[in-house]
Every structure is written in structure tokens, then in C-alpha cells.
Amino acid sequence: YRSREPWIWPIIAAGILLSAGFAGGQESAPSCLRRTVLANVVDRQGLPVDGLRRDHFHASYRGKPVRILSVEMDSQPRRVVLALDVSGSMVGSPTKWKLARSAAAHLVALIPPENATALVIFGNSVYDKIELTHDPQEVLAHIRDIQDPRDKKGRVGGRSFLFDALLEALSMLHPPVAGDVIYLITDGGANTGKASRKQAEQALLASGARVFAFLFLDR
């Protein structure tokens, strides 16, 4: 877990040209498509790399090269939704829950105030949420207030509505904006809920939101 999160920094928007046939790189072919790809470029310390040009990038699609048309720095404010898993497998382990709660608080504390932050707390339902706000302290105070979800009425752990929570987080980012982020803290258990993995995947792809995860892997 890095102390500096890559998505906080400005991102690179690279315009690329894809040709369905890749025949001789013919830009005028009707099959050519233009796409904008967002990328974070950081050094080993997690700090942004400045002065990047299109010749610093190389891209391929299915083993075939694509042409980089332009590279631009996009420093507009971001929208971040933190999705915190409080299902039984998370809160059942005091060590795991303490680390998850600390990671959530640490993440929110790093978000600059010009960015909008939202919070989704989920287990076998979406228990609580805070809509997008430019006051990270509001979200931070809410996270710090959660000592043990089992101590509060209705928060009994249970199974995880992981994909439902992802869709809920996406609904808070409507309409979608380039650079939107969902940061998920979970152990990856998705064994209940109405939404399927395919539904969540399709919705994420359609929105363009990027998902980062603090993932607990049980031995």
C-alpha cells in the first residue's frame, strides 16, 4: 500500500489511432478509429513524471502497433468513490478490519480538497453512503466513527454485495466524467446480491470509470 496514490496526480490523456486491419498504418482508411486512453505515469516513489511526449509512449492492440497521435496532461479535479466492505469475512477478523479501516482513512486523508469524494459502506446490502463532497473531513470523520460494524443495528456483517456496491458507486458518478475513480477496499468475496459480475463489468466499461483496489488475500 503506497502512501501516495497514483490517481491523485494529473493523468495523461493519450490520443491513439487504431486501424482494424493495421495495413500499412493507413490513417485515411475508413476502418481507422481514434481513442483516448487515460494513464497514470509515476516514478518508483509514486511521484508524477513531467515533460512527457508522444514519442515516450508505445502501444499495441492484439500484438499490432497503434499510432500515438498526441499526449496531453489532464489536471482537472477528480471524483472518487470509496467503497468499503464490512461483510462478515472482513469484520470477522479484528486485524483485517483494523487494517481496512486504517487504509480507508489514510486514502481519504490524501485526497486534495479540490477533488470530490463519496463513500459507500456495504456488506449484505449498502448500509450507508455519503454523496460526493468537497469536504474530505466529512468522509474521514464518518470512517473513523465506524469502530465495529457489528455494534450498530443492521450492520451484522453477512455476505458481500460486492457487485451491487460497485453499481451503487457508479450511480454516484452520473453522468460519467473522464478520470472518475472507484477505490474498493475488500477481500473480494462476492457471494450474494442481485447484480452479477458481468453486469458490473459492462457498466464499468461503459462509464469509463477506473477501479483501484486494496485487496485482502486470505491464505
What average pLDDT score do residues 32-49 get?
Answer: 81
Question: Looking only at Cα atoms, what is the longest distance across the chain?
Answer: 65
Which residues lie below 8 Å from residue 56, measured CB to CB, with a gap of 6+? 71
**pLDDT in the model for residue 196:** 87
Gap between the Cα atoms of 217 and 199, Å rounded: 24
Select the more confidently predicted residue: 14 or 206: 206
pLDDT at 14: 59
Model pLDDT, residue 152: 53
User: Considering the chain, what percentage of its residues have pLDDT values greater than 90?
Assistant: 28
- From CA 169, how far away is CA 185, in angstroms rounded? 13
Cell output for 181: 475513480
Residue 85: Cβ-neighbour burial (10 angstroms; 0-12, 13-18, 19+): buried
The pLDDT, as a whole number, for residue 136 is 86
Average pLDDT over residues 135-146: 87
User: What single letter denotes the amino acid at residue 7?
Assistant: W
Of 150 and 2, the one with more pLDDT: 150
What pLDDT score was predicted for residue 173? 94
Range scoring the smallest mean pLDDT among 96-105, 140-149, 203-212: 140-149
Predicted confidence (pLDDT) per residue in 152-197, tens digit: 544 445 567 889 999 999 999 999 888 899 999 998 876 677 888 8
Beta strands 11-19 and 126-133, pairing class: unpaired
Cell 486494496 locates to 214
